[in-house]
Structure 1
């Protein structure tokens, strides 16, 4: 297991793990839930090889970044935006190409609408939008009460979320053989289990995207690409078409045999789409 974030910096008095790879036009990758920057490990090399300087980081409360003990520290989509802006300042970046996944798309949407001059282009891969989240399965669990999951023994918790993660992909064998244990390690155990609910599940609230949804057309001022798994069970492809219709001039690519964790199922196809899009909008 080789993580792609190896540096740490304080942003708003919280520690953020990040990494910079390659040289060229700046690109930033924003992951979602319940993952980390590790989900970009197969996307990063092709982007670097194509001549881009790629910046990656773990959201606050995720991956190798700080898991704040203080419940007053907000790790919602909305509160992740100033963390992202702080990182841009640390990296010395005035404007960037943004590539996002899942709730990372919510962060990117709010950033792009609030600061369009700082975004060169936007790619959104199987992202949340409108009131598309949480997924039906997660919503049902939240409605039923999370107390049982929060207090479950580690073995039960790990097995429950193993099955949850399997629902993000078509190629379950490859996920099991490659990244499954890494993703589970971040959300299980004495730190990960509590952190998952405090920093992630607690903030599964569509208000963070529905608040800005009326302004989605503004994102069309810059080049926008949507990439979606045809078999996404978390953000079904209908949301891709609705988002595509809402953003004038946006491109939409729907990938067959591909689930919500698209970068696990189809990393080669996604990398090719990213490089092509970035080169056309240099």
Structure 2
């Protein structure tokens, strides 16, 4: 199985789940270009079109045939683009609070898109304050200091700060519009999981997604925001294990 992170996260968000599931599955983690431990070079594009194509290439490089894919946030758009536009095949697909249907992207996204270079030049302390406030907003129950540090650390160096605003500036709804009409062609078993208190991507997107993907099932996790991995770790782990053992 392959775990896909979103933005502005990294594979570290999925690490505890990878360890827990590794007794029953061979688990692959990866950092998208521009995220986590991957390259943050300014010349490397990090938009969703690039990420989807690279994910399909990565699965081919790993010689994985029809792996189970679990995706969160941007990882949903990445995995859907890889499948629908680049013919990557999956054994099953679990979509957790994903970017897949418009509208997505916050007012903060639009503000950054209008002046990414200005944001990249913010004094480090100001950048840290904005970053931490932004990340905290993804959790309904609140983050511990350790969790906050895990999520913000990659973006606090000079290189990371520039990369943080660069990936936001390259976000565009056209990248999900390009596969919207193909969602009805999905035959892969699909489970949509959503936190009921997600303010970043409200649960109605999950309900709409289930309506568009034939045979898809929806599971709502109570009292969980966008960072359902931290807000409801036991509930999410059980939901994923139940799904994966059923489809595996």
**TM-score w.r.t. length of structure 1:** 0.83
Corresponding residue for residue 67 of structure 1: 40
Corresponding residue for residue 183 of structure 1: 151
Task: Give how far 1:251 is off.
Answer: 0.9
Q: Is the 8 A contact 1:136 1:234 kept in 2?
A: no
Corresponding residue for residue 138 of structure 2: 168
Q: Is the 8 A contact 2:72 2:96 kept in 1?
A: yes
Q: Which runs of 4+ in 1 moved over 6 A?
A: none
Corresponding residue for residue 275 of structure 1: 241
Q: Is the 8 A contact 1:133 1:204 kept in 2?
A: no
Residues 1:197 and 2:200 are matched in the alignment: no
Cα shift readout 1:117-138 (whole Å, capped 9, x = no counterpart) = 6211111111111223212443
Runs of at least 5 residues in structure 2 that lack an aligned partner in the other structure = none
Corresponding residue for residue 211 of structure 1: 178
Task: Give how far 1:197 is off.
Answer: 1.7
Corresponding residue for residue 97 of structure 1: 68
Q: Give me the whole-angstrom Cα distance separating, in 1, the residues matched to 2:188 and 2:212.
A: 14
Cα shift readout 1:164-192 (whole Å, capped 9, x = no counterpart) = 111000221xx233221122121122111
Paired residues for 1:1-282 under 5 Å: 27-49=1-23, 51-70=24-43, 73-114=44-85, 118-139=89-110, 141-142=111-112, 145-172=115-142, 175-198=143-166, 200-219=167-186, 221-282=187-248
- Give the secondary-structure state (helix, strand or coil) at the position aligned to 1:106: helix
Cα shift readout 1:192-228 (whole Å, capped 9, x = no counterpart) = 1011122x11221111111111111112x11100111
Q: Comparing both structures, which one devotes a greater share of its residues to strand?
A: 1
Runs of at least 5 residues in structure 1 that lack an aligned partner in the other structure = 1-26
**TM-score w.r.t. length of structure 2:** 0.94
Cα shift readout 1:65-100 (whole Å, capped 9, x = no counterpart) = 111232xx3211111123212322332212211110
What is the count of residue pairs matched by the alignment? 248
Q: Give me the whole-angstrom Cα distance separating, in 2, the residues matched to 1:37 and 1:227.
A: 19
